[in-house]
Structure formats: structure tokens, C-alpha cells
Homo-oligomer: A and B are copies of this chain.
Amino acid sequence: MEALKEKIRTDGVAIGKDIVKVDGFLNHQIDVKFLNEIGQEFARRFADVKIDRILTVEASGIAIAACTAPHFGYPPVVFAKKAAPNTMVEGFYEEEARSFTKGTVSKLRVSKRFLHPGEQVLILDDFLAYGEASQALVEIVRKAGAEVAGIGIVIEKGFQGGSDKLRARGCRVESLAVIEKIEDGQITFGGEDAGE
């Protein structure tokens, strides 16, 4: 998605060889108008798939899912929680996921009330790095007896191997921008961007 690459080039900050900071439009400040375009692009790429539900992770995935849902006819959105508040008393599906950025391990939890057998689930996330969070979501969907219709990623760090792991699990992955290299403050995009 060329507009996204342009946005990353102008607003993104490359840190070291591993991190791209996009808190100017995605992770802290949110450009809702632009996320609406991102949602439209996900709908275009997954136009051939029936989507019953969108699943993402708090916090950065929520705005993406909220801006994408209208383009799929408003399916229910559910976000995995990283900690169990005392109002989550009933049963939930749980998987561990390491966060590359924070250097922590989280437990991702989704209430059993909000994932049902047979549902076609679109998983959305802001970043795909080593694929830890997405793999945890795939496991949660499958535990529920639902199916992963696809995985939509805004920014993939192609050099960290996450999409290969997800494809090895039989998942279709669509990344709107694939970064191949981060070096000397420069971000190089790769060609594995099926939609263009």
C-alpha cells in the first residue's frame, strides 16, 4: 500500500536495526482518516473471504479493527486482553505471547462468549515481527473451534520471520507494508506486498 509506505517514510522513526516507531499515526496518536483507508485496503485484499468476526489485541490493534469493521459490513470486533480485570470472571481462552517491543511476556485472553465454533475470523494487528502475538491469536481461534479466515497486518518486519511461521500454520497473511531492512535511520521496503 503505497500511501502507507509514504506515511512510514515521512512519520516513522527508525531505531537501531529492529524498531520502527509509528506513534505519530498508529500507536499513540491515531490518524483515524488514514486508518479508514487502511481498513478499506484490508477489505479489498480479503474481498473473496466471508468474515464473521474481527479479532485483534489491545491496545494498538483496537483502532485498526474499529476502522476496518465498517468495510466488512460491521462484523463484531473482539480484542484480546493482556491482563484479566476482575470483571472477567467467566471462562476464557488463553495463550502466551512475547512482546518484542516491550520485552515482556503477556497472557492474551478472549472470553469464550465472544468466539464461536465455525466462525470465520479475520485477525488484525499493527505489527508483525516474530509472529508471537499473531500465533497466540491463531491458537485462540482454533481452540474455540473457529477458523482463521486471514491475518491482516499493517506493518510487517519481513526480516524477523513472523509471516513464514504463520503461513506454515496454514494461515493467509496480507501485510500492507513489508519492511526488509532498518539501517542507519533508513527504512527499506520489500516486494512481498501481494496487493500491489
Residues of A at the B interface (CB closer than 8 Å) are 15, 19, 21, 23-24, 27-33, 35-36, 58-59, 62-63, 65-67, 69-70, 74, 76-79, 81, 83, 85-88, 101-103, 110-111, 113-114
Q: Assess whether A101 is in contact with B76, with CB atoms less than 8 Å apart.
A: no
Q: Which residue of B21, B36, B113, B114 contacts A87 across the interface (Cβ within 8 Å)?
A: B21
Q: Nearest B residue to A77 by beta-carbon distance?
A: B30
Q: Assess whether B23 is in contact with A87, with CB atoms less than 8 Å apart.
A: yes
Q: Could you tell me the dominant secondary structure of chain A's interface residues?
A: mixed
- Supply 27 A–B pairs (Cβ within 8 Å), ascending by A: A23-B87, A27-B87, A28-B111, A29-B76, A29-B78, A29-B111, A29-B114, A30-B66, A30-B69, A30-B76, A30-B78, A31-B74, A32-B69, A32-B70, A33-B70, A33-B74, A36-B70, A58-B58, A59-B59, A62-B62, A62-B66, A63-B63, A63-B65, A83-B102, A85-B101, A85-B102, A87-B101
